[in-house]
Amino acid sequence: MHRLFVALRPPAPIRDLLIDAMDGVDGARWQDEDQLHITLRFIGEVDSRTAEDAATALSAIRAALPPLRIAGCGTFETKGRPNALWAGIAPRDPLAALHKKIDRALIAIGLEPEHRAYVPHITLARLAGSAGPVDAFLARHAALTSPDFAATHMTLYESHLGHGGASYEPVARYPLTGS
């Protein structure tokens, strides 16, 4: 089985900016530099044939993105309790459109559609129930921003879960050109 997702990898200066912001929440499991990405579509666990079909379907996608930038911070919650801290990405609409193209391509090969609302972001930390309050972090980084950066390709990654968290292996790269 292969645990797959499609993502954009921000350039090193943007990753460095995010690493510098990661502090101030007791018990947060901060992401490593090599884990920082903008998920376009989580695929999940699939067999080898479906993984190959997904790779082929992704190769047919044509899209170009405008320059992107970091735009503030937020949380994802479960039952009113924060479970992740993230940095937002702007502009949202072009990323949402690319997410829809990817979703349609994967549905066409028999995968389930994405059911969650798409929020372009980079996960900064995972939060267990014992993690400290996040309000001060969110207030401090509410206006977090970055210089514009280009997204010239998207990558199909395989996620390997281990004791130290997930590691991500690039499987295929797809240029972002055309419409």
Q: Any idea which residues carry the catalytic annotation?
A: 37, 121
Report the length, in residues, of the chain.
Answer: 179
Q: Which of 5, 112, 107, 1 is nearest to 47 (CA)?
A: 1
Residue in this structure with the two tokens 């014992």, named with its chain if needed: 130
Taking the CA of residue 15 as centre, how many other CA atoms within 13 Å lie in the half-sphere pointing to its CB? 13
* Backbone φ, ψ for residue 97 (5° rounding): -65, -40
Token pair of 63, please? Answer: 């899209």
* Pairing mode, strands 2-8 and 28-30: unpaired
Q: Cα separation of 45 and 24, whole Å?
A: 34
Query: Does residue 15 sit in helix, strand or coil?
Result: helix
Give strand ranges (E) for 38-164.
38-46, 69-78, 81-90, 121-127, 153-162
